[in-house]
Chains A and B, each alone.
Chain A
């Protein structure tokens, strides 16, 4: 084996552990030592956890006794908004800098039961609001392919940790593209599951009707391995469901010509067309699909995002936990705690959410946005009668330079391809295409596939075809 232990995929590590080519401890140590070496410059982890000797030994014992759980003994990076009992979960906010989780998120519990290990908690945009991990209260995460560029976001820390081999795989959450965006920028696989396929219990909420947790991995097979462990209906999340599996085969791929107009002639479009040509050469049928509501969808997405964020952030009041600044009156306690605890983008969205939900504007903004959402959902359902998956680029550009998108609207526009899956609740995956060379640097870029609800297997199949992986 020529790869270092920390460079292995989940499947490779699981095999190596069973072939006794390495121990769980050696695999853990390899990831930790790379993380210690590189975290200073990359800022992927906010905290590296002490080795949990009990968990490491238990995982080794399970493997020695023939346990077949793929994740047993695999060190993972966990986004800072996923609760792990006894560890701080701050959502990269000053508001929760001292908040220690009092219980495990459902996905944490499932990963622990599978024998997985947690290396640390990773950087993100504060409360998962952003798209570049520049909105963290703890500094920006750098892209390992070019340190002057962003890693993407909001799960940027987990993406950089995996891409720089500081973890075997990572977990994140996706509200409007937060797994797929950093996957595209860092050259990884990122899956946003069907809404409800994975429990949200124990995730720090951003937009409750959009949020889903999912994997960031080096291979499609690894994404499937993680998804298979974390999925499933959960009594602790009333919106979770047992998804109904749909046929797994992919034969017809839809492309959305109207959404592609904005990136005509760009390097991303060129790579996208190349990938589509390759899929055609492999026997796929490419069909143009029309979904009229994609054009107002991004505006609708942001209105719903602002509205739900302002509602979800109302729980942070400086009284029971987290940042607690004290003034002369109870009202001052609230105001001062929130003023000091929240960063710029969080405040911006709370104020905008308050605006779009206010009595005079709720019909014009929030209710209209929800109608667009329902319309879009119906149009996607119709389109999926004719095609098995729909393909777009994941992001309009490769990773941009840190600080280049200081104007909020310019950053929001980056989400034009990814938000559709959150609005409609459909699953979507980002798969690396060929890299784009800019100023002598090879920058990754992803192709995104979405499928009807419950169509994750379809996404793994088409993803494996693009990557030349055998599933």
Chain B
């Protein structure tokens, strides 16, 4: 079952901030939800041999590219911060 620490760890992995009050609430709710979906535990279905799903992605060949720049402005308009046609982000590797 889920403890407050578990929820904290999951939130960090999922890049989501969860406040103290919310942590307690989620932990309590997760107990109920995991107890419900956990009923599969009692089921003996063979999971060792993985069944190939009936629906799956099929890749197509690349081809017929659109004209360069045709969508650049429309996409760049959505950027929170831009420099010309570049998306501007924080520096990740520092020099010092």
Residues of A within 8 A of B (CB): 99-100, 102-103, 195-196, 209, 235, 238-239, 296, 299-300, 302-303, 310, 317-322, 324, 329-331, 333-336, 338-339, 342, 347-348, 350-352, 354-356, 358, 363-365, 367-372, 374-375, 377, 407-409, 412, 425
B29 at the interface (CB under 8 A from A): yes
| Contact, CB under 8 Å: B32 / A408 | yes
Q: Which residues of A contact B45 (CB under 8 A)?
A: 368, 371-372, 375
B75 at the interface (CB under 8 A from A): yes
Q: Which of A195, A330, A354 has the most CB of B within 10 A?
A: A354
Q: Which residue of B has the minimal Cβ distance to A413? A: B36
Q: Which residues of A contact B40 (CB under 8 A)?
A: 296, 299-300, 303, 364-365, 368-369, 372
When chains A and B are docked, how far (Å) is the Cα of A425 from the Cα of B81?
41
| Contact, CB under 8 Å: A329 / B77 | no
Q: A335-B17, A355-B2 are in contact. Are A319 and B55 (CB under 8 A)?
A: no
Interface 1/0 per residue, B5-21 and A, CB below 8 Å: 01100110111111000
| Contact, CB under 8 Å: B47 / A363 | yes
Q: Which residue of B has the minimal Cβ distance to A305? A: B37
Q: What's the nearest-Cβ distance from chain A to residue B38, in Å?
A: 8
Q: Which residues of B contact A367 (CB under 8 A)?
A: 47, 50
Residues of B within 8 A of A (CB): 2, 6-7, 10-11, 13-18, 26, 29-30, 32-34, 36-41, 43, 45-47, 50-51, 53-60, 71, 74-75, 77-81, 87, 89-90, 92
| Contact, CB under 8 Å: A364 / B41 | yes
When chains A and B are docked, how far (Å) is the Cα of A100 from the Cα of B89?
21
| Contact, CB under 8 Å: A342 / B16 | yes
Q: Which residue of B has the minimal Cβ distance to A407? A: B32
Q: Which residues of A contact B46 (CB under 8 A)?
A: 371
| Contact, CB under 8 Å: B78 / A320 | yes
When chains A and B are docked, how far (Å) is the Cα of A421 from the Cα of B67?
41
Q: Which of B11, B38, B50, B87 has the most CB of A within 10 A?
A: B11
When chains A and B are docked, how far (Å) is the Cα of A409 from the Cα of B31?
10
